Structure 1
Amino acid sequence: MPVETPPLYQIASRLQDTGRAPLTGLDAHALLAPKPIRHGWRPGDIPGDARAAAALMLLYLQDDAPHVLLTVRDGGLSRHAGQVSFPGGLVDPDETVREAALRETFEETGIASAGVELVGELTPIYINVSGYVLHPVVGVADRAPAMSRAAAEVARLLPVAFDEIADPANLRLGVRWRDDRWFDVPYFALRNERVWGATAMVLGEVLARLGLGPRDPW
């Protein structure tokens, strides 16, 4: 049964930096991690040589309902080609994770940072396939921003109503073939795309912080 999504301002308020519930994100990450676990990965364990990356989870109003912007990565990219992700990329040496999240979002989607209010950061996630530690940053806009994809990086923009993310029926379990074996993979079924991996973990943490799940897909 679909759940009732809070208004945008309530979502933003609950996701602000407060230092509360530090284990909430780690629990959500563990729940939505593919199995068997690869290379000894554990939620919260981040190697000292991991490269910092940042991503923006942008919440905005469209048709009077909260939405989240995702992107489908271009199929020709060297890493994570064709996967669904938040706008983001590596953090430059002279910038913060928040600055990097805004810069990468502008480069990939054309969304100007002036219309985005940053309200907090979520739990970092180590991505052992790439050696990056992802810092998810939460931003809010009071209306759907003007956007245009960077064709070399983004196959298409994927706005998703928050109701769809919060609907327990859209959290499912599938399989993927990688490194000569099958993996069981929790994923969100959104707009005819499978959202899994670090992106699913971020969405799971958001649901957990809002008290909306995620349910156990196993």
Structure 2
Amino acid sequence: MTPDEIKDRLGRAAEPSWGHSDYDLTPDARPGEAPLRDAAVLVPIVNRPEGLTVLLTRRTAHLSSHAGQISFPGGRKEAHDPSPEATALRETEEEVGIHRQKVELVGMLDIYRTVTNYAVTPVVGIVEPDFDPRPDPYEVAEVFETPLEFLLDPSNHHRHTGWFNGVPRKWWAMPYGDYYIWGATAGMLMNLHERLSD
């Protein structure tokens, strides 16, 4: 798959819509309505000569939420952010040091509701490979890349089961080497797979 093909397929939907959540595989566990906080992440597809990759981060172990987990760069919308794209680009600059000028935004995925009551807009961007990551040591323990081809391969999409607050839950996972990509990050990657497979 090429960057132009990604632009074409993601460009067919101008605005993000509701469609995915942490409850996709266990709808009975969905709680009642609750106030949702707006957030956005960048899904950074790195345009490497040897093949497209997706840049991910491992969060530091001391954080109060999602410590040690694999995630996209991103976070909560700030009052001065005019759009989800602005939130995603600002957070990417802050967390991994990739300047917005290195990112070509090509579309958005479905808004994703997390179990922690965030409404996350995933913003997809093509990143040129001539960047020097500078992870924020407070938030980011590691920056790494995973081949896009691996993440889009259905044979790497696994359903895992566990417990959350005493309730059995199921979630998507895409283990890659020592990296356990799961939960909201894997759910958004499943949405990317759906959109790019159309």
TM interval, shorter chain, is 0.7 to 0.9
Alignment match, 1:180: 166
Q: CA RMSD in A?
A: 2.5
Displacement of 1:133 in angstroms is 0.7
1:16 is aligned to 2:4: no
Alignment match, 1:200: 186
CA–CA separation in structure 2 for the residues paired with 1:179 and 1:39: 12
Alignment match, 1:70: 56
1:143 is aligned to 2:134: no
SS in 2 for 1:210: helix
Displacement of 1:123 in angstroms is 0.9
Contact 1:60–1:144 (8 Å) recurs in 2: no
Identify unmatched segments of 5+ residues in structure 1: 1-5, 213-218
Alignment CA distance shift 1:178-1:32 (3 Å)? closer
Q: Which amino acid aligns with 1:72?
A: R
1:97 is aligned to 2:84: yes
Displacement of 1:104 in angstroms is 0.4
Alignment match, 1:39: 30
Displacement of 1:58 in angstroms is 0.8
Q: Which amino acid aligns with 2:132?
A: A
Displacement of 1:120 in angstroms is 1.4
CA–CA separation in structure 1 for the residues paired with 2:168 and 2:13: 39
CA–CA separation in structure 1 for the residues paired with 2:169 and 2:65: 19
CA–CA separation in structure 2 for the residues paired with 1:136 and 1:117: 14
TM-score, L = length of structure 2: 0.87
CA–CA separation in structure 2 for the residues paired with 1:112 and 1:87: 12
- Runs of 4+ residues deviating >6 angstroms: none
Alignment CA distance shift 1:148-1:17 (3 Å)? farther
Alignment match, 1:120: 107
Contact 1:36–1:184 (8 Å) recurs in 2: no
Displacement of 1:20 in angstroms is 8.8
Displacement of 1:16 in angstroms is 2.1
Contact 2:157–2:173 (8 Å) recurs in 1: yes
CA–CA separation in structure 2 for the residues paired with 1:21 and 1:122: 6
Matched residue pairs, number? 197
Identify unmatched segments of 5+ residues in structure 2: none
TM-score, L = length of structure 1: 0.80
Displacement of 1:176 in angstroms is 2.7
Give the one of 64, 77, 87 matched to 2:73: 87
Contact 2:22–2:113 (8 Å) recurs in 1: no
Give the one of 75, 98, 102 matched to 1:111: 98
